[in-house]
Amino acid sequence: TASMTETIAAAARLVAGAETEIVAVTSSMGPVSIEGYYDEALAVPGLLVEIAAGERSGARAAIIACFDD
């Protein structure tokens, strides 16, 4: 969710180097949360879209903040 993304971004900004810009994004497609293998599979296309967009805009790294039991 966007609220979880912002929480993660705030934590990342606290520990990032001074020259590091944190750009946090939430996928516009897929499940709101990952509750199992099916949700995980549905989340991948949106994840790849966002990583590709980051690469096009000059991002040098991608950190995937995700949790699943």
Please give the structure tokens belonging to residue 36: 């199992």
| pTM of the shown model | 0.81
* The pLDDT of residue 68 is above 70: no
Cα separation, 31 vs 44, in Å, equals: 10
Model pLDDT, residue 33: 83
Mean per-residue pLDDT over the chain, rounded: 91
- Rounded Cα–Cα distance for residues 23 and 6 (Å): 10
- Predicted confidence at residue 35, as pLDDT, reads 87
Q: Encode pLDDT of 43-66 as tens digits.
A: 999 999 999 999 999 999 999 987
